[in-house]
Structure 1
């Protein structure tokens, strides 16, 4: 029977926005699970960053082919880095000796730190390499303008390092254009192997990893959230402007003092496109109490709005979800293995839908399942923010 969606609206308060997104972006052709998009890449676009309401953002997109920024929003404003600083920790470690000299234990730590954002590995290197002195070294080596060690009140908190979007671009440009090939290949090779589920159980394939098809490489950051999903049964807008970044260096003490340590932070950084054409840095802060799934969705929408030369976008329809602990399964049945759980309330990309096992979540009953290509699995349509059992405009698999 068709679900009574007025109850869903009362429970979530998000149906009108989610439904509008479905109806405005739905594809019209039939599709098969895992099928690749065949549309021609879109033409170059002007700066277009759309910062969701309530979000504070620092954004920089740099086109390495033209040598110019295509997006800048508060690009010199320092944010607390969260796990993005792990790139600097890794670079400091291999700066004078290269990755081949690392012990097996340290190499394993770096791999875990860059791929799965392992915090214990970062803390190990932070403690053994001088804490804030590590940041001072990297600021001098890379000519960073807005980066500073954590405030004196929190010397052991590597995630409180101050970092701006433009400095993040500088770090990636060093890796791609200046670093010794062995360093470039080691660090970037790890970032290309970013795992969906981070070591602490957060789904880290938001932002760049969700907005664009591979090739990409990412280092994400998050801080101040209580839960990030990604567990399995086994375990106010600012106008952007194009052009180059110009500006004076920010004093380190000033940068550290200016960083907001309270609001939840969610950052997506990395490179996108063939030949790592574009460097993307999106640093965000969210209102206190924002659920991870809401921030995940807002960062995704912001990232998808950006002019990123060389990027291709996955085919499908972005649809909101509701509920918590929603499982993505290998097949359209609850008897199949659970691949992961979704961050509560996160938008998902749906490429097609198919009939499968009938699922009952009173008062709803539904036998339609959505295929999520980025998870390579299915979720019951019950938890999609749609007015019908079969989502309008989404093709049948």
Structure 2
């Protein structure tokens, strides 16, 4: 898909990511590739950026776009689908995402939402992997833009449904991985979050929920090769969402870790980065 021209979301957005700078430099650990964007809605500008337009494979963060597309294409939601939306957004359930992905036309979901929201860095999975929603490409800038769309432009029904679930993100993902890294562990409440992870195997080192049965997106990733997907072969962790009173800050922190990196080490790195980043803009 060709890059799409970005469309301003609000008149108050006077600064571009390239113009923003953190009050204090944030140290990125050796071997970790990091990108972040923080938008201050109170100030009406970007207050922190790094590699704002670098593309990453989406992992589960794409579930926000899947939900937007689903809700905006219908006036009512059947009870069964409401339950799927709930577990997809709160517990990051992959089976629910796959159900919506297949029904919505797979990559066409990304084409539609990228065009409507003005997401210049977002593209569908490679044509050879149409079912791999986690191989959607996106950037920290586009993730922040997506949250701003929900806050400023989306219909109240869409906004309240999606953000309502993200405000109730569960500590445990449906696949048994602990999803409290990044914003949940590093930023004081209130917040709303959507996490993403890929490349850490199918079994978490310490299972967060013994009842979880869904396979993580990393299991899907292991079945593909030579996909041309960003950072393929490296484990990734993402934390994104809203933070501060009145949803003041819109944040996205994306990290790719050394091949073979452990879950615990990677979680510690992204949580420290997120905590330091938040403190640098909120102080």
* TM, length-normalised to structure 1: 0.59
CA distance in 1, matches of 2:23, 2:281: 14
Q: Secondary structure at the match of 2:81?
A: helix
Corresponding residue number in structure 2 for 1:181? 156
Tell me, yes or no, if the aligned pair for 1:71 and 1:307 is still in contact at 8 Å.
Answer: no
| 1:49 equivalenced with 2:19 (yes/no) | no
Q: What's the secondary structure of 1:156's corresponding residue?
A: coil
Tell me how far 1:71 sits from its aligned partner: 1.2
Aligned to 2:219: none
Structure 2 CA distance for partners of 1:175 and 1:309, relative to 1, 3 Å: farther
Structure-2 residue corresponding to 1:166: 141
**In structure 2, do the counterparts of structure 1 residues 278 and 309 end up closer, same or farther at CA, with 3 Å as the change threshold?**
farther
> Of residues 274, 287, 290 in structure 1, which corresponds to 2:245?
274
- The structure 2 residue matched to 1:305, chosen from 261, 276, 279, is 276
Q: Is residue 208 of structure 1 aligned with residue 183 of structure 2?
A: yes
Tell me by how many angstroms 1:153 deviates.
2.0
User: How far has the Cα of 1:307 moved from its partner?
Assistant: 4.1
1:329-375 deviation line (CA, Å, top 9, x unaligned): xxxxxxxxxxxxxxxxxxxxxxxxxxxxxxxxxxxxxxxxxxxxxxx
Q: 2:166 aligns with which of 181, 185, 191?
A: 191
Q: Secondary structure at the match of 2:277?
A: coil
Gaps of 5+ in 2: 1-21, 213-226
More strand by share: 1
RMSD over equivalenced CA pairs, Å: 1.9
CA contact (8 A) 1:272 1:310 kept: no
- Tell me how far 1:47 sits from its aligned partner: 4.6
Measure the CA separation in 1 of the matches of 2:177 and 2:240. Answer: 16
Matches within 5 A, 1:284-303: 284-303=255-274
Paired residues of 2:57 and 2:231 also in contact (CA < 8 A)? yes
Q: Cα distance, 1:96 vs. partner?
A: 3.2
Higher-helix-fraction structure: 2
CA distance 1:232–1:131, change in 2 (3 Å): closer
> Distance between the aligned counterparts of 1:220 and 1:59, measured in 2?
14
C-alpha change, 1:308 and 1:60, in structure 2 (3 Å) is farther
Name the CA distance, whole Å, in 2 between partners of 1:291 and 1:159: 20
Structure 2 CA distance, aligned partners of 1:309 and 1:102? 41
Bigger Rg, structure 1 or 2: 1
Q: Post-superposition shift, 1:190?
A: 0.1
Do the aligned partners of 1:213 and 1:311 also contact (CA within 8 Å) in 2?
no
Say whether 1:111 aligns with 2:86: yes
**Distance (whole Å) between structure 2 residues aligned to residue 156 and residue 63 of structure 1:** 36
Q: Is the 8 A contact 2:24 2:280 kept in 1?
A: no
Deviations 1:237-280 (A, max 9, x none): xxxxxxxxxxxxxxxxxxx9562222111100001011100011
Tell me if structure 2 keeps the 8 A contact 1:131–1:155: yes
Q: After superposition, what is the alpha-carbon deviation per residue over 1:113-152, rounded to whole angstroms, capped at 9, x for unaligned?
A: 0000000000001111110011000010000010000011
Match of 2:97 in 1: 122
Partner SS for 1:136: helix
Gaps of 5+ in 1: 1-44, 236-255, 313-397
Alignment-derived partner of residue 231 in structure 1: 208
- TM-score, normalised to structure 2, is 0.83
Partners in 1 of 2:269 and 2:259 — Cα distance? 14
> C-alpha separation between the residues in 2 aligned to 1:145 and 1:138?
11
What displacement does 1:56 show? 0.5
- Name the SS for the 1:221 alignment partner: strand
Question: How many residues are treated as equivalent by the alignment?
Answer: 246
Cα 1:232–1:182 shift into 2, 3 Å: closer
Where 1:112 maps in the other structure, the secondary structure is helix
Runs of 4+ in structure 1 over 6 Å off: none
Q: 1:88 aligns with which of 62, 65, 68?
A: 65
Asked if structure 2 preserves the Cα contact closer than 8 Å seen for 1:269 and 1:280, the reply is yes
Distance between the aligned counterparts of 1:176 and 1:81, measured in 2?
21
